[in-house]
Structure 1
Amino acid sequence: MEDGYKPKKPSLLQRLFGGGKDRRVSRSKTIVKIKTVGEIPPITETRKSLGDGNTKTAVLNAFMYAKNDFMRFFGVSTTKDETNRQFLIRCLNDLGIKVPETGFIDNYAIVDSMNEFVLNDDQKAERLNALKKLTSFYLEYYERTKYGEEWSPDPETVIERLEDIYNYMDIMYLYYSNGKKGEIPEEVEEVEE
């Protein structure tokens, strides 16, 4: 204690919890990358094709991507000889929507059947909504683009309508998990500070 210097006493907290010792602190952060509907491959591929001016290819492929994902997500299959229209009508019938025979040639018969139907089973609501969006996309975009002459839809509207279909399906299950519904993907990045 020379020159009036007195060592400082450790506080109660320091004495109890070992304060004043040289210790290393390691913190880790978990960063979860949020995935949105706009980031899934069908949307990005469609957006790219539309940007390149390939509207017909973009619309035709967009429907096929959505149809394949619908089948995969809801466990629906198709036969080799079944047309897209037959597939959609069969799926509607499976949910209880009775489409008249004229629905095989008349778009209005399909649309009217969908609009008149009231679903009483909440468990099938997600499937029905996805199917309605898929059917509408098929009737309004796919058929007009495939069979119409020089019809070119607005690219942003095509993307919006495609995203509407996927809003009723779990994109994490379809594109970012190991095939388990409701599972969060393992794309978690650990960062050391």
Structure 2
Amino acid sequence: MLRSLYANYKPDAGKILVEHMGETVDLLAAEPWEVVEIRRRTIGYVSQFLRVIPRVMTLDIVAEPAVVNGVPSEEAHAAARILLSRLRIPERLWSLAPATFSGGEQQRVNIARGFIVAYPVLLLDEPTASLDAANRQTVVELINEAKARGAAIVGIFHDKEVREVVANRLFEIGKPSNAKVPVAVSVAEAYA
């Protein structure tokens, strides 16, 4: 579902409508260049896996979405430092490529990268997987901050405690023969 909402997968029928730059756009009918622009400015995505260009330092990886959105490099790097600090990535690692990091460290870099831009819509695929309690709490805080500024959050959360704290609505999706996957939807009350 998240990949469809991000336009990685194209459903056979229906519409996925998103407000982008004051206009309603159907992601299924959008041109590829429009999808790229929507991803850049409107829909952020935090997957379970960090996929980055090898040998690029962590600080640059986190700052990159902000820089692409026109934030001056110095300001984007300052914001990246704040996020990396909040997510307890030691400063000594900021100049290293995250390919050598632990799974939990990579996940926190991925989260910082996803939250560096104030996206109106944020898709989260198990953002607290493989995180300790302190970092889980930081992610909950980041989600609640995004909600407070009006962002719509759609996420898959297997962590029941986190799901109960961040979700306004809960949908269980799955085939009758398979275990259902809880999809939590958090929307600022103004949009609920």
TM-score normalised over the length of structure 1: 0.29
Higher CA-based Rg: 1
Higher RCO (C-alpha under 8 Å, 6+ residues apart): 1
Q: Which structure has the highest helix share of the two?
A: 1
